[in-house]
């Protein structure tokens, strides 16, 4: 019962630990999902910022292009105006030349020749001024054309740069879009996976809640079992105390038995010494009897040899009977001696059995220990009875012989 209680408590402890770890895993997964959602939101915000920045850049490029085109148009218009002015000036100069030629002709006709030099100087001066004006106008037009060409080249370079920027932006936008789509798809897959895991976690939580309810019911049952075990433990402790008291009594009784056995062993030792002495005496008598038999056999042999040497002299019936009787007496004495030795050995073994037997009469033992002692004594008595039966059988056999 104790073992079952401990095992159930260990199982409950392990299940609680597993549930705590599972809750930690679920919390961590939820936290990871929230972090992933925050990262996705941050990426969305970054994408929106990039799109806003790109739109602003597009707007700036478009405005710059408009300004450049407007400046180019203005320059072209100014160039046209300058061309018109130059053309007008050329027409004015040409007209002036014509007018001056006509004036000169008229003056030559109307004025005397002394003023021709002065007129010629005036004409040269006017021509010089017209040439200077023409050169300045031409230089101004050339500078304007150079500026216009430079502005046109800059405008073309700006258009090329804008086109290159647009092309790079379009490529980058395509790459970023694909990357964002891939990341969004990956994030969506992660979110779906986490939703799936969250659903599985919810199912496991429900299962764990059921297990917790079951464990709580088991706890109640364990408390009941625990109370029962406490009662049984108290009863067992009382039993142990009683057994300890019985054990003390038994130890005292065993000590008394030991003292009694020591006394019996001392008596047996004395008997054994006496029997050993008797055995030695009997062995000596047996040795003497054997010597006597040998001597008688020798005498008988000598007598037989003597009789044979007297040419088949006949032995009297009386001598033969005497010799036969002596031989029978010696055989009987030999058998009795052997039987006496055998009885002495049996007597010694009986003493050994008596020492091993414990007299439990008058003593009070616990029931289980009393049964063990009774069983041991019964076994010893059975062996003793079997041995006694064999002794009686041997005695009867000797009597028959």
Q: What is the pLDDT of residues 270-303, one digit of tens each?
A: 766 776 676 677 667 667 766 776 776 676 667 6
Report which of 87, 182, 95 is spatially closest to residue 138, judged by C-alpha positions: 87
What confidence score (pLDDT) does residue 311 get? 43
Q: Flag whether the pTM goes above 0.85.
A: no
Q: Is 289 left (phi over 0), alpha (psi -120 to 50) or beta?
A: alpha
Instruction: Tell me what pLDDT residue 99 has.
Output: 64
Residue 366's region, left for phi above 0, alpha for psi from -120 to 50, else beta, is beta
Region 179-187 average pLDDT: 67
- pLDDT tens for 21-61 read 766 777 777 777 777 778 777 777 877 777 777 777 777 77
* Alpha-carbon dihedral angle through residues 133, 134, 135, 141, given to the nearest 10 degrees: 110
Average pLDDT over residues 363-382: 51
- Nearest residue to 104 via CA among 90, 89, 117: 117
- Tokens 């304007």 -> residue: 144
What mean pLDDT value characterizes the chain? Answer: 68
Q: Would you call 360 exposed, middle or buried from its count of C-beta atoms within 10 A (0-12, 13-18, 19+)?
A: middle
CA distances from 378 to 46, 160, 264, 375 (A): 101, 125, 20, 5
CA–chain centroid gap for 270, Å, is 74
């Amino acid at each position: 019962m104790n073992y079952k209680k401990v095992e159930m408590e260990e199982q409950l402890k392990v299940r609680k630990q597993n549930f705590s770890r599972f809750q930690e895993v679920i919390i961590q997964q939820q936290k990871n999902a929230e972090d992933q959602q925050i990262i996705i939101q941050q990426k969305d915000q970054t994408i929106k910022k990039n799109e806003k920045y790109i739109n602003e850049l597009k707007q700036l490029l478009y405005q710059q292009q408009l300004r450049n085109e407007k400046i180019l148009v203005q320059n072209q218009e100014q160039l046209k105006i300058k061309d018109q002015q130059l053309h007008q000036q050329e027409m004015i100069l040409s007209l002036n030349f014509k007018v001056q030629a006509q004036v000169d002709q008229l003056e030559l006709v109307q004025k005397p020749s002394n003023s021709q030099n002065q007129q010629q100087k005036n004409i040269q001066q006017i021509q010089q001024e017209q040439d200077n004006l023409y050169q300045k106008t031409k230089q101004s037009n050339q500078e304007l054309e150079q500026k216009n060409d430079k502005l046109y080249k800059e405008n073309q370079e700006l258009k090329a740069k804008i086109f290159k920027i647009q092309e790079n932006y379009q490529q980058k936008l395509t790459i970023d879009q694909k990357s964002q789509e891939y990341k969004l798809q990956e994030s969506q897959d992660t979110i779906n996976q986490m939703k799936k895991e969250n659903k599985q976690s919810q199912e496991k939580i429900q299962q764990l809640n059921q297990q917790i309810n079951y464990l709580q019911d088991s706890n109640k049952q364990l408390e009941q079992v625990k109370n029962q075990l406490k009662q049984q433990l108290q009863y067992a402790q009382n039993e142990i105390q009683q057994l300890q008291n019985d054990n003390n009594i038994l130890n005292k009784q065993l000590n008394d038995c030991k003292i009694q056995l020591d006394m019996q062993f001392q008596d047996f030792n004395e008997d054994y010494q006496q029997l050993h002495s008797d055995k030695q005496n009997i062995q000596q008598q047996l040795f003497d009897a054997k010597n006597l038999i040998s001597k008688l056999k020798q005498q008988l042999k000598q007598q037989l040899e003597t009789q044979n040497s007297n040419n088949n002299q006949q032995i009297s019936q009386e001598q033969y009977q005497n010799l036969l009787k002596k031989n029978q007496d010696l055989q009987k004495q030999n058998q009795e001696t052997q039987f006496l030795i055998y009885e002495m050995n049996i007597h010694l073994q009986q003493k050994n059995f008596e020492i091993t037997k414990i007299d439990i009469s008058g003593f009070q033992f616990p029931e289980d220990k009393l049964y063990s002692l009774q069983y041991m004594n019964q076994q010893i008595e059975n062996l003793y009875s079997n041995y006694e039966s064999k002794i009686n059988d041997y005695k009867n056999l000797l009597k028959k012989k």
